[in-house]
Amino acid sequence: DIQMTQSPSSLSASVGDRVTITCQASQDISNYLNWYQQKPGKAPKLLIYDASNLETGVPSRFSGSGSGTDFTFTISSLQPEDIATYYCQQYDNLLWTTFGQGTKLEIK
Amino acid sequence: EVQLVQSGAEVKKPGESLKISCKGSGYSFTSYWIGWVRQMPGKGLEWMGIIYPGDSDTRYSPSFQGQVTISADKSISTAYLQWSSLKASDTAMYYCVRHASGSSDYWGQGTLVTVSS
């Protein structure tokens, strides 16, 4: 099974800061990596698919990069509404998937 | 508009059975996989399994194989997740998702299942 190591587990930043979250796969997963945002009490929402593609309607301050085993999710300028937990998700085939442990993002 | 609407919250006792539902609309229900995701209280997301409503092809995560049953009724565009004998450890929020090309692009609102004596 492919394991995903997401870091940090929690993060505190100020409005306007650049925020970066990383996800490392235990083996090469090409670009088969997605990022989700889950606000408190809500279902997760797809933000980035295939490592770097922005889902329709998602603000451009969100971005993703990476391939192989190392991936990065970035918020270029943190906004108050970005307070949430963020998860990476790998799929080594179209039907099989595992999530990272999550990163809880708070405003400083 | 694509929507996945899940059944309401449930409170059950250990040993009871349960079937929760997820109704899809706004797209061709038989053309996309539907997955189920568990989120235990204060914890992360766990992939449980997936079904293709077009032919009922079903796959389970090893952690959930034998613990739950996933099914679908394409005539009413509804997928199901069921337990034959609930345990306290099944207490969680359960989400259904539309799964396409490796990503879960639409999520249901979640069904909270509480198992307590």
pLDDT (average), residues A71-86: 97
**Stretch B94-111: mean pLDDT, rounded?**
94
Give the angle subtended at the CA of B108 by the CAs of B18 and B13, to the nearest 5°.
Answer: 20
**CB-CB under 8 Å, A100 with B47:** no
Q: What's the pLDDT band for B84 if we cut at 50, 70, 90?
A: very high
Residue-level pLDDT at A94: 67
Residues of A in contact with B60 (CB under 8 A): none
Averaged pLDDT for residues B55-84: 96
Give the three-class secondary structure for A1: coil
Sequence-separated (6 or more) residues with CB below 8 Å from residue A83: A39, A105, A106, A107
d(CA B77, CA B6): 12
Q: What is the mean pLDDT of residues A78-96?
A: 90
Nearest to B44 among A32, A34, A101 (CB): A101
